[in-house]
Structure formats: C-alpha cells, structure tokens
Chain A
Amino acid sequence: MFKILLAEFLAPGIKRFEIEAPRIARKQKPGQFVILRLYEQGERIPVTIEHSDPERGTIRIVVQSIGKTTNLLNSLNAGDSILDVVGPLGKPSHIEKFGTVVVMGGGVGTAMAYPTAVAFKQAGNRVISIVGARNKELVILEKELRAVSDSLMLTTDDGSYADKGFVTDKLRQLIDNGVRIDLVLAIGPIPMMRAVAEMTRKEHIHTVVSLNPIMIDGTGMCGGCRVLIEGKSEFACVDGPEFDAHKVDFAVLVQRNSMYRAAEQKSMEAFQRDTASQIEAVRAENKGACAAQGDRR
C-alpha cells in the first residue's frame, strides 16, 4: 500500500501526486517510470515519475485523465492510498555531455521529459526546451523547465498562450537558424514524436523518444509492450522506454495501443455512469486492505 502525501492539479485533467515509496525514491533515475495498480480489481498502468526525493522517501508522478483508471486515480487525494506501485522500471535516459540538447515535451509528456532535462543540464549540456500544449490551461511545468533550460520555447495549438503552432514549428526554426543540435529528446503524443522524428531524420540529428505502449508486468515477462524497432520486436519495459526515434515503427505503436479500445470505452462509460460510488469503493477498499495488510509493500 502506497500512501498519497500530496495531490494537486497542474492543469485540468493533469494531476501530480507525491507518494510514499522509499525504495523507488532511492533508485529512480531520469527516464524511468513506475507501474501502478490502484485497487484489487484494477489494471496495471505505466506512469511517469516526474521527481523523486530519496531523503523524504517519496516520488512524484504526473497523470492525465484519459480512461477509467487514470480518472479514478485523479479523483484521489492526499491521505488516500494506491494499492501497488512498482519501479523504477525501464532503462534510465542515457546522459552525457552531448553539446546542445533540445528537449521537447508535448502535453503530459513534458513531465517525463523534465527530469531528463535536469540531468542533461547537470551533465553540462546547453539545454533548449520546447514545450507544447493544446491550450494555455494545459501547459505544465513551465517554471520548472525554464529554470533548467538555457532557453525555453512555448507553443499552444490554439494560440491562447505564447506562440500558436506546434513544437515542430519551433524545432524547424532552430534548424533553419543554423543552431547546431547534437541531440533531440521528444516525449509526448505519438503524432508529435513521429513528426519530430520525420523532421530530424532529414537533418541527421540523433533523436530519442520515450514510448508508451500498453504494459502489464513491466519486467519483460509478458511481451505485451513490444514495439517494432528497425523491424525487430523489442520490449519497451526493459529495452526502453527510450528508443532511437528514427528506428521506431510508429504506425505499429498506434495500432497496438488501439487493441483494447472497445473494452476501454465500455469501462469508461460504466465509470461515468457511477463515478462517485466507484471512487468511494476504491477508497474504502484500500482503507480496509491497509488495515488488513499482512505483507510489506
């Protein structure tokens, strides 16, 4: 059982939690993630670690409400608990002094990119961050990223904040202005990562993306998270989640992520019909489990 110490919305539908998880906090490195299971009947989903504090024994995760599980999770608050949190999973980001690194975050992907941006900066890189969101309200971690970036660019799809357009427009500008880019890290929605990959492929700029396929165990055991990398199956949970963007088959990723759409919709509709009581049920169940817990977690 993992206790939620703090919970706050960063934007509508995007919530940040601080969770007591001392083992994970001691080991987490940028680029890694956790898998969590909310309650006994819950599914296991991979979630971004935005920050960890080994001294306090806590990690911070950032979650966007999309389906039933994320909506349920984002209904929880400080004092509530999550049944299972396991990690840190995946290979850490490869950090070294590359020179100039462009860190691109799309939507909630910005939270995943943030700790790696910090590490790039600490390794002596010049960090240019590009953050994009659908609108002003959905821009997250602007202040945090600005603090670790040599420069920060912002776009919104609708122009309600900063420049109207996409993060790729800003990358184009940098390239056209002759900025020498040694590495691009792009984390966000699949269409965004794919567009970045297409742009940098032509420019021969090494580009890394962090992939988010459907996962279950997160230890390499099930193979459900397999992605096609240069025509070969690799497991995002143990071989990734970061991959060379120019080798990723994004079409297969989109296709595989759609596998359970019908069931996911059914779950979501049932949840929406009866939101309050389902949230209460999770709270009560975890409280009971907390009291009855025989094993350490």
Chain B
Amino acid sequence: MSDTIKQPTKQPSLNPLPLKERMKVPRQHMLEQPPLVRATNFTEVNLGYSEELARQEALRCLECAKPVCVTDCPVGVKVKEFVQLIVAGDYLAAAAKIREDNVLPAITGRVCPQEDHCEGGCLMGKKVQPLGIGYLERFVADYEQRHLDTGNLPKAMPTGKKVAIVGSGPSGLTAAGDLIQKGHQVHVFEALHEIGGVLVYGIPEFRLPKQIIRQQVDYMRAMGVVFETDVVVGRTVTIDELMENEGYDAVFIGTGAGLPQFMGIPGEHLNGVYSANEFLTRINLMHAYEFPKYDEPMIDFRGKNVAVIGGGNTALDAIRSALRLGAGKAFILYRRSEAEMPARIEEVKHAQQEGIEFQVLAAPIEFLDDGKGWLAGARCQKMALGEPDASGRRRPVPIEGSEYEIPLAVAVIAIGTSANPIVQSTTPGLETNKRNYINADPLTQRTSRKGVFAGGDIVTGSATVILAMGAGRRAAKSIHEYLTTPGPW
C-alpha cells in the first residue's frame, strides 16, 4: 500500500499537505438532521458540506497515479481531477469536470452506493475511511446549482438527427444529456406527469428532494433537451410510429423495471398490503404525506405497526417513510441476515438511528385478515442461511416449526420488480429474454431492432441509479456512432 501512496503524481499537486499527512485528516462528517427530529419530517436527512468541510475533505485525496475510484465508477467520473479543483477552490470547474461524464451530479452525489464503486475502490479505505467522494460530488453539484448561469450554455453544432428517449429515469436522462452535447435533437417521453422516473416516484424527499431533480432537469432543458410528459410509449404512440411518422432516427428505451413483484402468499389483496412501488408512488409522486393539501389519500399510519418486507434501498425508503407518517412500530422483515442486505450502508445506518427495527432471517408466509378485509397481522417463518445461490449470497432456508404471528396494520412488499411489458409487446421484432427483459448488447446497448437501443433496468432487471446511468452513457456513445458512421446493424 505504501508503494502506491509514494507514487509521484505527474502534475505538480495543488494540495499543500504531504501524502503522509493526508491520511491523518479524518473523514469529514456531513451535517445531518438529528435522528429523532428527521424521523418526523420528510425534509432531507443530509445537510451537505460547507466550503470549509469540502476543502478539508478534498485535501485527503492521495491523488493516485492510477485512480481506482475512476475505473470503478460506472460512468467514469474523473474523481481525482474534480477533487483537485475543489482543493484549488474552483468549484464551478469541478462541477464542469464531473459533468463531462455525469449529467446528474446532484443526484448521484446523494443516492449512489459509493461504497460499491468509487469509495469502495479508494486506496485510503484500506487503512482509514475512504475519501468522501459522494459528499464532495454533492457539494460541487449544489454549489453549481446556486452559482451557475445556465442562460448561455455552449450548444453543439446541430447534426440534424433526432433521437427519442423513452422514459425519463436515470438511464434516459443520462443518454439525453450526452446526446444533446453531440448536437442531436433529443426528445424525452415520460409516462407520468413528472420528469425523473424512479428518482421521482421511488426515492423519497428525505433522501433526494424533488427540487434537486427539477434543477438537474432544468439544466438539461437549458441544454436543449425537450421533455414530453403523459406519453406511455407503446400505448400513446409506438416505437415504430416514432421512427416512421415522427422522424426519429434512433430510439433509446429506458423504461425501467416497472412491475412490482408480489409474494404470492394468502392475504396479499387485503387493505393495508401495498407494493413498495404503490406506497412510495403515493408518497413521492403524489405527495400523499401532505394530504389534504394534496388530494391523494393515504391510510392513517399513526401509532400502527408497519412492516416492510425486503432488504434493499427501496425497502428502507419505504419503512423510513412509514416512520415519518407516524408509525408506532416500524420494522424491516428480511429473509437473509444483515450482511446480505443490498441497501446502501448509509441508509441502513440512518434507519437504525431513526429507530427502525430489523427482524432478519424471517419472512411472512401469510397475511391475516381482521374479518373486514383489512390486514391484522402476518404469520412469519424463521430462516437459516444455506449455501450461496446464483446471486452469490447465502440462500435463506425455512426452519421447520418456527412459525410465529405478528400484529400488523400495514405491510409493504419490497422484494423487487419485473419487466413492464408495454413496450416489448407493442414493438414487433424486439427480442426479449425469458423474463421479458429486452435483449441489448452490453457494450453498445443495441437491440435486435435497427436504430433501437435499450439500457437500465429494462435490460438488466432492478439495479441502481448509477448502473442505469452507465448504460445510458454507453447507449449515447453507441447511438452517436450509429447516427454518424454508416455500417451494418
């Protein structure tokens, strides 16, 4: 390790600290709302870095010659360079540096699982805490938001080519942002009434404020991207119609993994049993937590027992939302152990601080009726961990005779999603796999249909914002090549 640290950087460093001293600077904490306060509101948990904290944190960067943080980033953000610009105090330049690879820095700075990518690869992490790359990204993105005039962004020379983007989630927005910078006309179609896809309907305000998404989208508008809401591609207009009647030269499908999975256990139809998608959509997209200021209703959670089934980020978003709606007891039911939970480390920590209980190695096998069609409880079963399954995680095995009942007023099922079939079923010749996800080349994102590309969850199944963004980037590059270089499909 020390070998790597001593490697000289090619350019003279602006960082006044000798390499050895940098390791001694502790990772700077981000200010956050106190747990008991934030558990009662929907405003953002993390409060951001001040300039001092950001500079202090940036000084920790070892400026590796071969930065793993960059190669581990699905969109290849030039971490070392932007961090150096923070050290230099040029925050707008730092933001511009990030934007070369990532058009949604304020979003990834908040929701990206950095421990799996940039920070996971950070050399410092082997001895001390890794560099706070996510926090720094968020800082410069927010700084840019406050200080940058988007009135005269440079516009690329128009190519005269038109690209339709289907879905305005992370993959679609990324593809749109990259393509507009190449001079193509970009038109994004969104089924819902707000731009952002899962960022808007899935991720709660306390983790990713809607205002942040709107700002990032406004920036893209300023770049020239056109957005059209209320269009369900496949129903309102088909891919073929877009290409034949509306003159689009290429289409990118980024519709996400829409369909919620249920468990197929008795009682799932009871009032009080939600899919995570419905529960979170009511809260995030429809503002049900602000009823009656907003019309969308929500059942009364105050003082009630609420369980969320699952261990991913969606499950944590759901249970922390339930807590904020006033749940008396809010807990996670997860069939594996905490070590296998796919959620971001920070979210698990935040949830625990807020008083969320984790019942691991347990799963419901039946939802119980109160006799009037409402949920009264769940019969659960304890699990043990067996051999690893296809995901590499140890498989949960039910323990015979371990059934027990818990009283519950609300249960939210957050065990994953499957492919939404609307585009596939209305696009002849678009090949899909057995699970009805769209087949796309992992490098070029090309589908079986000429001029049609796909990426994100509709290709891979449920993944993360940043992985979808990576697919959007690859697709944009590939679409640009397709539009500018003739060749076989």
Contacts of A217 in B (CB 8 A): 191-192, 201, 281
Contacts of B152 in A (CB 8 A): none
Would A84 and B299 count as touching, CB distance under 8 A?
no
Contacts of A252 in B (CB 8 A): 269, 373
Would A220 and B258 count as touching, CB distance under 8 A?
yes
Q: Which residues 188-211 of B sit at the A interface, judged by CB distance below 8 A? A: 191-193, 195, 201
- Of the listed stretches B153-161, B228-236, B376-384, B464-472, chain A binds B228-236
Would A223 and B260 count as touching, CB distance under 8 A?
yes
What is the size category of the interface that chain B forms with chain A?
A: 35 or more
Would A223 and B191 count as touching, CB distance under 8 A?
no
Determine which of A41, A84, A223, A295 lies in contact with B294 in the assembled complex, contact meaning CB atoms within 8 Å. Answer: A41
> Is the C-beta of B184 less than 8 angstroms from some C-beta in chain A?
no
Determine which of A41, A83, A86, A238 lies in contact with B293 in the assembled complex, contact meaning CB atoms within 8 Å. Answer: A41
Interface of chain B, main secondary structure: loop
Could you tell me the distance in whole angstroms from the C-beta of B194 to the nearest C-beta in chain A?
Answer: 10
Interface string of A136-166 (1 = CB under 8 A from B): 0000000000000000000000000000000
Contacts of A263 in B (CB 8 A): 291-292, 297-299
Whole-angstrom CA separation of A259 from B372 in the bound complex: 11
Would B291 and A228 count as touching, CB distance under 8 A?
no
Would A37 and B422 count as touching, CB distance under 8 A?
no
> Is the C-beta of A258 less than 8 angstroms from some C-beta in chain B?
yes
> Is the C-beta of A222 less than 8 angstroms from some C-beta in chain B?
yes
Q: Which residue of chain A lies nearest to B268 when distances are taken between CB atoms in the complex?
A: A233
Would B292 and A221 count as touching, CB distance under 8 A?
no
Q: Which residues 167-196 of B sit at the A interface, judged by CB distance below 8 A? A: 191-193, 195
Would B297 and A216 count as touching, CB distance under 8 A?
no
Known contacts A27-B237, A233-B262, A270 near B292 by CB under 8 Å:
yes
Would A238 and B421 count as touching, CB distance under 8 A?
yes
Contacts of A88 in B (CB 8 A): 235-236
Would B259 and A221 count as touching, CB distance under 8 A?
yes
Contacts of A24 in B (CB 8 A): 236
Could you tell me the distance in whole angstroms from the C-beta of B179 to the nearest C-beta in chain A?
Answer: 18
Determine which of A23, A219, A233 lies in contact with B422 in the assembled complex, contact meaning CB atoms within 8 Å. Answer: A219
Known contacts A23-B237, A37-B193, A220 near B420 by CB under 8 Å:
yes
Determine which of A216, A256, A294, A297 lies in contact with B269 in the assembled complex, contact meaning CB atoms within 8 Å. Answer: A256
Query: Could you give 25 example pairs across A and B, Cβ below 8 Å?
Result: A23-B237, A84-B229, A84-B230, A86-B191, A86-B193, A86-B230, A88-B235, A216-B278, A217-B191, A219-B232, A219-B420, A220-B421, A221-B258, A222-B260, A222-B275, A223-B262, A223-B278, A226-B262, A238-B422, A263-B292, A264-B297, A296-B226, A296-B227, A297-B228, A297-B230
A residues engaging B (CB < 8 A)? 23-24, 27, 37, 41-44, 68-69, 83-89, 216-224, 226, 228, 233, 235, 238, 249, 252, 255-256, 258-260, 262-264, 266-267, 270, 294-297
